[in-house]
Amino acid sequence: MILAVVALIAGLALLVWSADRFVDGAAATARYAGMPPLLIGMLIVGFGTSAPEMVVSAMAASDGNPALALGNAYGSNITNIALILGLVALLSPIAVHSQVLKKELPILMLVTVFAGWQMFDHQLSSLDAWCLLGVFFVLMAWSVYQGMKSPQDALATEMNEELTQSSMTLKQAIIWLLVGLVLLIVASRMLVYGAVFIAQSLGVSDLVIGLTVVAIGTSLPELASSLIAIKKGEHDIALGNVIGSNLFNTLAVVGIAAAIEPMAVDAVVLTRDWTLMAVLTAALFVMGYGYKKQGRINRLEGAVLLAVFIGYTGYLISTVVA
């Protein structure tokens, strides 16, 4: 048990550090390759911060623990909105300027509904997995189109300012990209081993472990990057991290895991976890879109989101203790 706890803690710490190095290296490499700042912000940074969820879920599914993979993906989405945006908005209200992000908010809502519809038969089959991945690649293509169409978007401006502050050479960028990727895999293996061993030893379901410890751990890169962005006044980057990450988690992370190991979905996932994720996504859409006015997440709304996260996590813990 002690070894498993050490593996879990060390895996989480290494995961956060390696994910940060991976994203920095990938963003700098993309800049040297001539990729527009908006695409770097939407694809490289937004999706890159979800690399921990992807690797951990793929490892869990390949080890025959698909519930851990699903819990990780949906738990991360709940954590991203309720904990990360709640905490960030509590510290500094989030103003939404980017028109591209306003277009992504309804897409995230539709993707969430589509994911729930797939689970109504309590199964995620190989066909479901490839449908999720197909939608993901279509959205990737759409993101590229939007990036080329809206080079002066507010998100592009913030991202360009962020990139110009980096003094990383191309060689350094490629080295950190590769080192970050390798350490991500190592850290994910440690994390999955520790989480599964502890869950089995304590009689806790893989799903609950995935929704709590693993989900919060793999969401730490999003939390760190969002807090740094909001400190610099880069509100759209903070929100873009969450939207991009949640799209990636819902489509690519779950899709990859189900493609590796088709899974039975417990009814509680649909009634409890997906439902909360959908409600939070709808709330984010209403707050961020800002009908006929600027979208904004104020401190009160941030406090409500944070309270929802604390209540949800507390409830999950109570089911284990009981």
List the chain pLDDT tens, one digit each, 322 residues. 788 888 878 877 887 787 777 777 777 777 777 666 666 666 666 666 677 778 888 888 888 888 888 888 999 899 999 999 998 888 888 877 666 667 778 889 999 999 999 999 999 999 999 999 999 989 888 777 766 666 565 555 656 666 666 667 778 878 887 887 788 778 877 877 787 787 778 777 888 888 888 888 777 777 777 777 777 676 677 777 788 889 889 999 999 999 998 988 989 999 999 999 999 999 988 887 766 666 778 889 999 999 999 999 999 888 876 5
pLDDT at 135: 94
Which amino acid, one-letter code, is at 147? G
Which amino acid, one-letter code, is at 318? S
Q: What's the CA gap between 52 and 56, in Å, rounded?
A: 6
pLDDT at 77: 93
Dump the DSSP string for 8-68: HHHHHHHHHHHHHHHHHHHHHHHHHTT--HHHIIIIIIHHHTTHHHHHHHHHHHHTT-HHH
Within the chain, residue ranges assigned H as helices are 2-32, 37-39, 46-48, 51-62, 66-78, 86-91, 99-118, 126-149, 154-164, 170-202, 206-209, 215-218, 220-231, 235-248, 254-260, 267-268, 275-289, 299-321
